[in-house]
Amino acid sequence: MNGTRRVTANLPVALLDGACKATGRGITETLVAGLTLLKRTAAARKAARLRGRLHLDVDLEASRERARR
């Protein structure tokens, strides 16, 4: 991480308590886990949109010609 930022947020008690119980961690760790999951989900969604749109010009036969031991 590139440092930290102190934030103040009004969160529903039941939601925060449920999330902490689900992770088995404290508030900060639970929030970090949730934000990390959101970031990963967005990256996966972006990768899925690229499916079938990335064209590679690769010579498979040449790429298989590597030194064998």
Residue 59 φ then ψ, to 5°? -85, 100
34 or 58: which leads in pLDDT? 34
- Distance in angstroms (rounded) separating the CA atoms of residues 42 and 30: 19
Cβ atoms of 30 and 21 within 8 Å: the answer is no
Cβ atoms of 29 and 23 within 8 Å: the answer is yes
| Residue-averaged pLDDT of the chain | 89
Record the pTM: 0.68
Over range 54-64, report the average pLDDT. 82
Q: What is the pLDDT of residue 54?
A: 73
Q: What is the pLDDT of residue 67?
A: 62
pLDDT 10s digits, 27-38: 999 999 999 999
10 or 2: which leads in pLDDT? 10
